[in-house]
Homo-oligomer: A and B are copies of this chain.
Amino acid sequence: MKTTGRRFKTAIFEQFTRIGKAIASPVRLELLDLLAQGPRHVEALAAAANVAIANASQHLQVLRAARLVETEKSGLYVTYRLADPAVAEFVRQLRLLAERRLAEIERTTRQFLESRGGFEAVDRQELLQRVKSGEVTVLDVRPTEEFEEAHLPGAISIPMAELEARMAELPKNREVVAYCRGPYCVLAIEAVQRLRARGFRAVRLDWGVVDWRANGLSVKRGKAAASVG
């Protein structure tokens, strides 16, 4: 009797550990973070996470074995996607817990931001207020597919790679608020640097769509509007 109860408990905790092990690798966490932006091919994921394709493929299979992601094959390509929006939310909870518990994260982030030109702290609530009221230009610097998957209402899509060339599309007199995938995505940081170098008033919003959704804010799907004021 004692032992069947113990066996049961062990079996259950081993199941929980399937999820735990799946998120116990920096590469896999980054892949999940990318997949939280929308479905992607293996090659694109490997490139974005800066790992070899075979390596990415293996990590993705680990995630699939833990049922955190699903695949769909169409032609040559295999599309990976999160199996459940709850997975993105769980990864976000992990991030929040880590931020809360590990002082190293804040320290590393501050150091990095300072090395990038000493960014001032902008109050997030006030910034969100300005975003919602429409008094600033909201700029999404993620790749087009991610923008189309989900973006802030009213945001303009200029992928980072095209920013220099397309900066003229932005109204010069309004403040620009740039965002990308979340607090640890470096695209928006770089965008702000470049915008400032070209005379724009620009600040970064350190939330991504997963954060908006979790905070009950609306998110839009679909292509960008044809033209920008």
Q: Spell out A's residues near B (CB within 8 Å).
A: 1, 4-6, 8-21, 23-27, 29-30, 33, 50, 66-68, 83-84, 86-87, 90, 93-98, 100-102, 104-105, 108-109, 112, 115, 184, 186, 189-190
Contact = CB atoms under 8 A, between A and B. Distances in A.
Contact of A104 (B15, B84, B93, B112): B15
Contacts of A112: 4, 8
Given A24-B21, A190-B5, A15 B108 contact: yes
A24 B24 contact: yes
Contact of A186 (B5, B26, B96, B101): B5
Contacts of A109: 8, 12
21 contacts: A5-B186, A8-B108, A8-B112, A8-B186, A13-B29, A14-B26, A15-B108, A16-B95, A17-B23, A17-B24, A17-B25, A17-B29, A20-B20, A20-B23, A20-B24, A67-B102, A83-B101, A84-B100, A86-B101, A87-B97, A90-B94
Contacts of A67: 101-102
A157 to B, nearest CB: 21
Given A86-B97, A93-B93, A102 B18 contact: yes
Q: How many copies does the complex hold?
A: 2
Contacts of A19: 94, 97-98, 101-102
A25 B20 contact: yes
Contacts of A10: 26
Contacts of A108: 8, 11-12, 15
A186 B12 CA distance: 12
A21 B28 CA distance: 12
Contacts of A8: 108-109, 112, 184, 186
B68 A101 contact: yes
B101 A6 contact: no
A23 B105 CA distance: 19
The 5 closest A-B pairs by CB, nearest first: A24-B24, A13-B26, A5-B186, A20-B24, A20-B23
